[in-house]
Amino acid sequence: MLLNELQIIERLTRDDETRISIKPLIDLESQLGPSSIDVRLGTEFKVIRRQEYTHLDPLRKLDEIKPNVKRYAEEVLTKFDPRDGGFVLHPGEFALGSTLEYICLPNDVASRLEGRSSWSRIGLMVHVTGGFIDPGFHGTITFELCNLGKVPLQLYVGLRVAQLAFYETLESLKPYPEKMYTKYFGQAGTIASRFYEDYEFDILRKLAPKD
């Protein structure tokens, strides 16, 4: 069931483990919609660098692939002060960002991240496919930012670029923190992909030819 604004407020004000927590919630009146809450752009971005790599091979040893992925996504920090210039996302570019807010979901609520219409109409995509947030998740939410427009977009900390919708579910048998492979629980800031930690790569590495 999709929660409406009254149900969202009720969840935000509970004082037990079924509460939805969003911090900081700067202005509930302007951020709350009929069935969603707007979330803001944080201070940290990761820009993808192509110059050093022909590809990323997830079958390499973990101690080799992990630093490669870290170097592949260069960290860019921005300030709250708009005079600093913000972050410029050029047409066709891909970058990672994150919410300013730290989100805590209870074990019976899932969420979905969606772009705000005003930004999508000028070409800003806030997620590629990773828009679903499992029950029990705690952390900032990563934006997969892409500029599909024709002109550069100047992005500033605190802009409401996306929204979260919430879905009430039966309490999860294994909420996000209890899953075997939980790579992003408790994340703060913008976290690069940890795709190489997926369990299927453990199997493939054992089958791959040794160097």
**Better pLDDT: 117 or 81:** 117
**DSSP conformational letter for 129:** S
Region of residue 60 (left: phi > 0; alpha: psi -120 to 50; beta: else)? beta
Q: What CATH number does residue 39 fall under?
A: 2.70.40.10
What distance in Å separates the CA atoms of residue 115 and residue 162, rounded to the nearest whole number?
4
Residue 191 has pLDDT above 90, yes or no: no
Residue 31 has pLDDT above 80, yes or no: yes
Q: What ranges in 16-168 are assigned the alpha helix state H?
A: 28-31, 62-72, 117-120
**Percent of the chain whose predicted confidence (pLDDT) is above 70:** 70
Range of the domain at 65: 5-207
Catalytic site positions:
144
What distance in Å separates the CA atoms of residue 147 and residue 122, rounded to the nearest whole number?
9
Residue with tokens 């929660």: 3
3-class state of residue 7 by DSSP: helix
Residue 41 has pLDDT above 70, yes or no: yes
Domain count, the chain: 1
| pLDDT attached to residue 193 | 65
| pLDDT attached to residue 207 | 65
| pLDDT attached to residue 22 | 97
| pLDDT attached to residue 190 | 73
Residue with tokens 């427009």: 149
The distance from CA 204 to its chain's CA centroid, rounded to whole angstroms, is: 28
Burial of 36 (C-beta count, 10 Å sphere; 0-12/13-18/19+): buried
Nearest to 166, CA basis, from 105, 110, 115: 110
Residue with tokens 């911090």: 23
Q: Which residues, in sequence order, are CB contacts of 49 under 8 Å at separation 6+?
A: 71, 72, 73, 74
3-class state of residue 66 by DSSP: helix
Residue 195 has pLDDT above 80, yes or no: no
- Pull the structure tokens for residue 119: 């930004």
Q: What is the mean pLDDT of residues 168-174?
A: 75
- Report whether 98 contacts 176 (CB < 8 A): no
